[in-house]
Each structure stands twice: as structure tokens, then as C-alpha cells.
Amino acid sequence: PTSAWCRKNASEEEIEAFGQEFKLLLLRSYASTLLSYSNQKIEFLEPKYSQKNPHKAAVPTQILMSNGSIIKVTYFMEKKDDHWLVFEVNVDGTGLLKSFRSDLSQELQKSGVNSVTKQLKLKNEQINS
């Protein structure tokens, strides 16, 4: 659902709680994936700056696996207050944030924000344990 759908169907507190759990799940999922790698070589390639907005860039990387395969990861970044922040991570052609949003969209519309927030909280607790 869009942010307009959420504003229409949930309170500010519900949206805030959902946002916190969603953000935590993204961070923990990504961190646990990174921690599963050990001794792989990571190559950072030349950043590609947006022609429309020089404060946005894509930073392609390659993770060279021990079996010789390559995992392509692109970090989409935006400069805010003199700091570069990641706003999307694309792994082998799949945007992680976009994928998470897509997975949750139908569930939000079907079950509501509170139900999905509880599900996210449970997933976060499982990752944490």
C-alpha cells in the first residue's frame, strides 16, 4: 500500500510502530546476510552518480565467493547533510527494500497495520535469538 493508504487506515502511532519494526527487520536481515560471509573478497567498483541529482549515486560491488561465483550488489545512496546514506540495496537484480515492500503490501491491506507490525516484531525477535 502507499503511504496515503496507511495514513487513511492507521493512526500515527500505528504507522510509527510499523516503521520501526520494518526498519529493524531490514537492518537485521541485511546484517545477518553479511555476517554469513567470511573471507570473501569484496570489490567496490566505480560509483555512478545520477545525472539528474549529483547527491544520488549507485555503488556497484562484487562479492567473490570461494567457489568462484560472483554476487553483484549495488548500493543506492543519497547524500544528506554531508553524509552518504544507503536507501536501497540491490542483490543480483533484486531490490531488497522493494521486495520487502511488495511482500508486505497485500498483507497490510488484508490484515491491517497492527497485525503486520506484530508479525514483524516476531520475526525481529527470532532473528535476535
For the chain, the domains span 39-111
pLDDT bracket for residue 122 (50, 70, 90): very high
Collect contacts of 57-64 with beta carbons under 8 A, ≥24 apart: 57/84, 63/37, 64/40
pLDDT bracket for residue 12 (50, 70, 90): confident
Residue 2: what pLDDT? 52
Over the Cα atoms of the chain, what is R_g? 17
Question: For the structural domain made of 39-111, what CATH number should be given?
Answer: 3.10.450.710
Task: Decide if pLDDT at 1 tops 60.
Answer: no
Angle at 25 between CA 66 and CA 20, to 5 degrees: 150
42-87 pLDDT, tens per residue?
999 999 999 999 999 999 999 998 889 999 999 999 999 999 999 8
Average pLDDT, the chain: 87
